[in-house]
């Protein structure tokens, strides 16, 4: 007991002496930064296994990152890691700062260019496998850490991707905050959609005629329609599927949503005047709308903005107030 009192007394004296000598106390902000740095340092080394079963180990937070797909880029910038991004794909258009980064190509990417950027992490994507697998192996053979992000089928998998990228980059706290913000936004939209009394049927057109493609079951666009208390007329199809125009007419959607207006002029007008569609309810009521394809099609932090755009298109009487 005597030793405990001696220890307590010594500790107290040290504290008093430090204060008396004018030892500057850390401000709350400094304390927070220190805690954050310590947390990041303690997170490493981190070992991750990607969708191809390839395992990488990062000994410290990456200082130079190459992103090979727009959704990963948007997540990195959303995690405030834009200054660490040294290369992006030719398709990256958000945020504006992404345009200032070195371009590494598209599906056919420039392996030599990527290596010259000396990245300690390359974020690839499952959708790029096939054409890109040989190039990714060249990067691995060159000693580059390549992590292939899984294609997200729903919001939960989008959240998982964000958390994983947060773990890889030392931004786990920011990733958790990003996910929680999205969950809160989705919940608020879903609650509002629950007040809808007359449920509408929807056809979402992601590619125009003559090759009309849509989002079926096990896509996050199908999940978005369900979250909005609406019915996807292609919900019995699996994945991203080509749809026969006659079948669209037979299923008679109340609303048609296109997602390619940013790249195709007069997208909604093309649907409204499409031959053979005159009997469709969406055409008769002129309920054909275009939404931002990047916000609704990229599995990144703007997905909830896309969800809200879709909500306003389907139920303007509820969401445009």
Same domain, yes or no: 68 and 165: yes
CATH number (domain holding residue 233): 3.40.50.1980
Same domain, yes or no: 171 and 216: no
Q: Does residue 2 sit within a domain?
A: no
In this structure, the number of other CB atoms found within 10 A of the CB of residue 257 comes to 29
Split into its structural domains, the chain has a count of 2
Same domain, yes or no: 106 and 159: yes
- Residues 209-256 have pLDDT tens digits of 999 999 999 998 999 999 999 999 999 999 999 999 999 999 999 999
Task: Give, rounded to a whole angstrom, the gap between the first and last alpha carbons of the chain.
Answer: 69
Q: Look over the chain and give the mean of its residue pLDDT values, rounded to a whole number.
A: 89
Q: Does residue 186 sit within a domain?
A: no
pLDDT of res. 320: 83
pLDDT of res. 131: 84
Q: Which of 147, 179, 211 is the last residue of a domain?
A: 179
Main-chain dihedrals φ then ψ at residue 42, nearest 5 degrees: -75, -15
Same domain, yes or no: 169 and 221: no
Same domain, yes or no: 165 and 53: yes
Same domain, yes or no: 144 and 70: yes
Q: Does residue 154 sit within a domain?
A: yes
Q: Does residue 282 sit within a domain?
A: yes
| Cα Rg, the chain, nearest whole Å | 25
pLDDT of res. 41: 56
- Residues 134-154 have pLDDT tens digits of 999 999 999 999 999 999 999
Same domain, yes or no: 214 and 119: no
Alpha-carbon distance of 87 to 90, in angstroms, equals 10
Is there a contact between 129 and 50 (Cβ–Cβ < 8 Å)? no
Q: Which of 179, 208, 238 is the last residue of a domain?
A: 179
Which H or E element spans position 214?
Answer: strand 213-215
User: How does residue 21 score in pLDDT terms, banded at 50, 70 and 90?
Assistant: very low
- Residues 158-215 have pLDDT tens digits of 999 999 999 999 999 999 999 999 999 999 999 999 999 999 999 999 999 999 999 9
Domain limits for position 151: 46-179
Q: Does residue 227 sit within a domain?
A: yes
pLDDT of res. 82: 97
Beta strands 201-207 and 213-215 are: antiparallel
Q: Does residue 19 sit within a domain?
A: no
Residue 100 per-residue DSSP state:
G
pLDDT of res. 254: 98
Same domain, yes or no: 167 and 72: yes
Bridge partners of 241, per DSSP, are 214
Bridge partners of 149, per DSSP, are 125
Q: Does residue 118 sit within a domain?
A: yes
Alpha-carbon distance of 214 to 238, in angstroms, equals 10
Same domain, yes or no: 211 and 168: no
- With a cut of 80, say whether residue 22 has pLDDT above it: no
How many residues appear in the chain?
321
- Residues 39-84 have pLDDT tens digits of 555 689 999 999 999 999 999 999 999 999 999 999 999 999 999 9
Q: Does residue 169 sit within a domain?
A: yes
């Amino acid at each position: 007991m005597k030793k405990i009192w001696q220890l307590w007394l010594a500790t107290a004296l040290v504290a008093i002496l430090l204060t008396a000598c004018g030892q500057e106390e850390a401000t709350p902000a400094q304390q927070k930064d220190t805690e954050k740095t310590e947390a990041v340092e303690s997170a490493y080394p981190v070992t991750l296994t990607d969708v191809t079963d390839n395992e990488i180990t990062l000994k410290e937070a990456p200082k130079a990152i190459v992103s090979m797909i727009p959704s990963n880029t948007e997540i990195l910038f959303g995690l405030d890691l834009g200054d660490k991004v040294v290369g992006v794909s030719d398709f990256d258009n958000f945020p504006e700062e992404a345009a200032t980064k070195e371009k590494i190509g598209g599906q056919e990417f420039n392996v030599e260019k990527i290596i010259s950027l000396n990245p300690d992490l390359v974020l690839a994507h499952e959708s790029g496998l096939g054409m890109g697998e040989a190039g990714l192996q060249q990067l691995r053979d060159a000693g580059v850490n390549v992590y292939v992000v899984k294609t997200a089928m729903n919001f939960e998998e989008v959240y998982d991707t964000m958390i994983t990228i947060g773990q890889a980059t030392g931004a786990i706290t920011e990733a958790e905050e990003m996910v929680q913000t999205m969950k809160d936004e989705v919940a608020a939209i879903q609650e509002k959609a629950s007040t809808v009394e007359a449920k509408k049927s929807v056809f979402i057109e992601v590619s125009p005629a003559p090759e009309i493609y849509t989002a079926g079951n096990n896509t996050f666009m199908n999940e978005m329609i369900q979250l909005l208390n609406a019915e996807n007329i292609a919900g019995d199809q699996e994945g991203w599927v080509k749809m026969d125009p006659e079948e669209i007419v037979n299923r008679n959607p109340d609303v048609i949503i296109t997602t390619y207006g940013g790249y195709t002029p007069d997208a909604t007008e093309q649907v409204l005047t499409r031959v053979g569609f005159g009997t469709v309810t969406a055409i008769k009521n002129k309920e054909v709308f275009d939404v931002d394809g990047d916000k609704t099609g990229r599995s990144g932090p703007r997905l909830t903005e896309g969800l809200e755009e879709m909500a306003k298109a389907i139920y303007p009487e509820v969401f445009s107030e």
